[in-house]
């Protein structure tokens, strides 16, 4: 019997309890060990809940109980999650988590503390909800030089953009709905401004490129400026707007760099990410031997996320007393400014700008919407961000959306 403690009985924590109850027999068979929740740490009480007697309010009870071998940290946020995680690892307890904020900020340090204490720190649920992606990057793609990751890494924003596109709903109404369904972060700014996606991108890039990607150095733009008119233009182009998180290894002036950004992109039907709708996430990984592989599934929500957390619990039970190798080097990944990164752009300008558009961008094909008589849109050739910004400033544009073309 392995006893565990769950820190936080919210959306994910209650999901962990449900997964462990509903699938108890098969989980125990796969772990070759019976797994039992001994404590649940939360500030609240849960009268009437089947686990109400397991609820404690003092972390020290868990820390000092030698019977607890695994701690599941699903509280979110940096503090006290960091302090509890560190203390648990130092006390010789393995920890698993869905907390991307903590993993993005302190991942290599916590892995190293875990290994120094002969235990494990696992975080499958930190990226892509229920999608297995951490384990494949760390354990499966070991024969490949992974050089690109492009993903839809936030369920809330994908849900919002899909509902706006397919049902013509208003941004505010869909956001409320996503919050009620338990997809959104406590502070929805983290979702809609791209802060959640950028942390996940940093974690995946760190594992893929075996260097630590600092999420604070990654250019991040959210979806709050996307309007119903942008969505109509996307439809006219036969494209969809998605919040993408993308990074790629490249060589600038003979030196290895990584371009990384989170931003709304227009994507065409030639990318499998086009069909990723609703709360679903997908991660396209490119390796020099593999080519492209896509990992797809529910990116948020109680049970899918809990399924990934419990898979880590099973792995930790299977490896009690042994550490799992992690390909995450604490040395910093060199993140280049995106100003030299090249792509096409979709641009909206007022109708009277046709001549300046021609002077700066050359002959362009106009995209016009019947209800917007005073403006038109067009797609540029491939330009670096710097070149584009200079031209856009000269023209005086209404707005622009980046375009993500599939690499050959």
> What is the distance between the alpha carbons of residues 14 and 51, in angstroms, rounded to a whole number?
9
User: Of 107-115, 130-138, 180-188, 286-294, which part binds ligand HSE (CB under 6 A)?
Assistant: 180-188
Residue 97 in contact with ligand HSE, rule: CB under 6 A: no
Residue 376 tokens, joined: 């038109």
Widest distance between CA atoms in the chain: 75
Residue 300 in contact with ligand HSE, rule: CB under 6 A: yes
Report the candidate in 89, 182, 395, 149 with the shortest Cα–Cα distance to residue 292.
149
In the range 139-168, which residues lie near ligand HSE by CB under 6 A? Answer: 154-156
> What is the distance between the alpha carbons of residues 239 and 348, in angstroms, rounded to a whole number?
15
Residue 341 in contact with ligand HSE, rule: CB under 6 A: no
Residue with Cβ nearer ligand HSE (125 or 239): 125
Q: Compute the least distance from the CB of residue 98 to ligand HSE, in Å.
A: 7
> What is the distance between the alpha carbons of residues 194 and 71, in angstroms, rounded to a whole number?
29
Residue with Cβ nearer ligand HSE (41 or 309): 309
Q: Compute the least distance from the CB of residue 183 to ligand HSE, in Å.
A: 5
- Residues 108, 280, 190, 103, Cα dihedral to 10°: -10
Residue with Cβ nearer ligand HSE (299 or 377): 299
User: Of 133-141, 178-186, 311-319, 345-353, which part binds ligand HSE (CB under 6 A)?
Assistant: 178-186
In the range 220-279, which residues lie near ligand HSE by CB under 6 A? Answer: none
Residue 368 tokens, joined: 């016009």
Residue with Cβ nearer ligand HSE (129 or 222): 129
Residue 96 in contact with ligand HSE, rule: CB under 6 A: no
Residue 299 in contact with ligand HSE, rule: CB under 6 A: yes
Residue 10 tokens, joined: 């919210």
> What is the distance between the alpha carbons of residues 289 and 286, in angstroms, rounded to a whole number?
9
Q: How far is CA 156 from the centre of its chain?
A: 11
Please indicate whether residue 200 is annotated as part of the active site. Answer: yes
> What is the distance between the alpha carbons of residues 6 and 401, in angstroms, rounded to a whole number?
42
Q: How many residues in total does the chain contain?
A: 408
Residue 184 in contact with ligand HSE, rule: CB under 6 A: yes
> What is the distance between the alpha carbons of residues 6 and 122, in angstroms, rounded to a whole number?
14
Residue 383 tokens, joined: 């330009």
Residue 160, number of CB atoms within 10 A of its CB: 29
Q: Compute the least distance from the CB of residue 300 to ligand HSE, in Å.
A: 4
Residue with Cβ nearer ligand HSE (93 or 106): 106
Which of 200, 249, 391, 404 is flagged as catalytic? 200
Residue with Cβ nearer ligand HSE (129 or 377): 129
In the range 100-139, which residues lie near ligand HSE by CB under 6 A? Answer: 129
Catalytic residue numbers read 200
Binding site for ligand HSE (CB under 6 A): 129, 154-156, 183-185, 191, 196, 299-300
């Amino acid at each position: 019997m392995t006893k565990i403690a769950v820190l936080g009985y919210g959306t994910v924590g209650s999901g962990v309890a449900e997964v462990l109850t509903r699938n108890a027999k098969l989980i125990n068979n796969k772990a070759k060990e019976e797994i039992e929740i001994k404590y649940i740490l939360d500030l609240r009480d849960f009268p009437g809940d089947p686990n109400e007697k397991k609820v404690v309010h003092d972390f020290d009870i868990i820390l000092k109980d030698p019977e607890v071998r695994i701690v599941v940290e699903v509280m979110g946020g940096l503090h006290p999650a960091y302090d509890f995680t560190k203390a648990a690892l130092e006390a010789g307890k393995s920890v698993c988590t869905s907390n991307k904020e903590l993993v993005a900020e302190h991942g290599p340090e916590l892995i190293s503390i875990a290994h120094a204490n002969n235990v494990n720190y696992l975080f499958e649920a930190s990226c892509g909800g229920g999608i297995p992606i951490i384990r494949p990057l760390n354990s499966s793609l070991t024969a490949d030089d992974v050089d690109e990751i492009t993903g839809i890494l936030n369920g809330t924003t994908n849900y919002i953009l899909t509902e706006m596109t397919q049902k013509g709903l208003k941004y505010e109404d869909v956001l409320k709905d996503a919050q009620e369904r338990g997809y959104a972060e406590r502070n929805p700014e983290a979702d809609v401004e791209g802060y959640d996606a950028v942390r996940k991108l940093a974690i995946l890039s760190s594992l893929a490129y075996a260097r630590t990607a600092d999420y604070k150095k990654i250019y991040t733009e959210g979806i709050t400026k996307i309007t119903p008119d942008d969505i109509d233009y996307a439809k006219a182009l036969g494209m969809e707007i998605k919040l993408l998180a993308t990074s790629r290894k490249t060589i600038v002036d003979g030196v290895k760099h990584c371009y990384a950004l989170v931003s709304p992109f227009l994507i065409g039907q030639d990318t499998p990410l086009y069909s990723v709708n609703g709360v679903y996430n997908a991660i396209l990984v490119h390796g020099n031997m593999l080519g492209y592989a896509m990992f797809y599934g529910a990116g948020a929500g109680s049970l899918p996320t809990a399924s990934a957390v419990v898979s880590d619990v099973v792995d930790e039970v299977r490896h009690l007393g042994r550490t799992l190798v992690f390909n995450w080097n604490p040395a910093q990944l060199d993140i280049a400014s995106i100003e030299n990164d090249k792509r096409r752009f979709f641009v909206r300008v007022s109708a009277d700008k046709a001549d300046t558009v021609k002077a700066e961008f050359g002959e362009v094909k106009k995209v016009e919407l019947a209800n917007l008589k005073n403006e038109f849109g067009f797609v540029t050739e491939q330009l670096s961000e710097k070149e584009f910004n200079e031209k856009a400033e000269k023209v005086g544009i209404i707005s622009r959306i980046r375009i993500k073309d599939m690499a050959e």
